[in-house]
Amino acid sequence: MWGDTAMTKTIDLTKSVHSLCQEYPELVGILEDLGFKEITKPGMLSTAGRVMTIPKGSAMRGISMDEIRSTLEANGFQVKG
């Protein structure tokens, strides 16, 4: 089961939030729960989300990358970068 890469959902921290949410739509709700409330505002994901990365958002919102990483992993994602 763990060796099956077809089931692996990988979050590449160098990719934009927009790109990651296009790939994994469930990520929007996870990020919102972590404190990225603006992600659900109309147009925000398709504008600022195109240049914003999770680490940049983490620094801006004061949300620890350790918390983000552990939350993503708890939701079945493998975090890279």
Q: Is residue 5 part of a domain?
A: no
CA distance 40 to 21: 11
Domain with 61 in it: 16-80
- Report the pLDDT averaged over residues 19-27: 97
Q: What is the CATH number of the domain that holds 76?
A: 1.10.3910.10
Handedness of CA 47, 13, 69, 25 (dihedral sign): positive
Which pLDDT does position 6 carry in this prediction? 55
CA distance 74 to 43: 28
Amino acid at site 22: Q
Kindly state the DSSP code that residue 2 receives in the 8-state scheme: T
37: nearest Cα among 15, 55, 23, 57: 57
Work out the end-to-end distance of the chain between its first and last CA atoms, rounded to an integer number of angstroms.
23
Q: Is residue 6 part of a domain?
A: no
pTM assigned to the model: 0.87
Q: Tell me: the pLDDT tens digits for 29-69?
A: 999 999 999 999 989 999 999 999 999 999 999 999 999 99
Q: Is residue 51 part of a domain?
A: yes
81 pLDDT exceeds 50?
yes
Q: Is residue 66 part of a domain?
A: yes
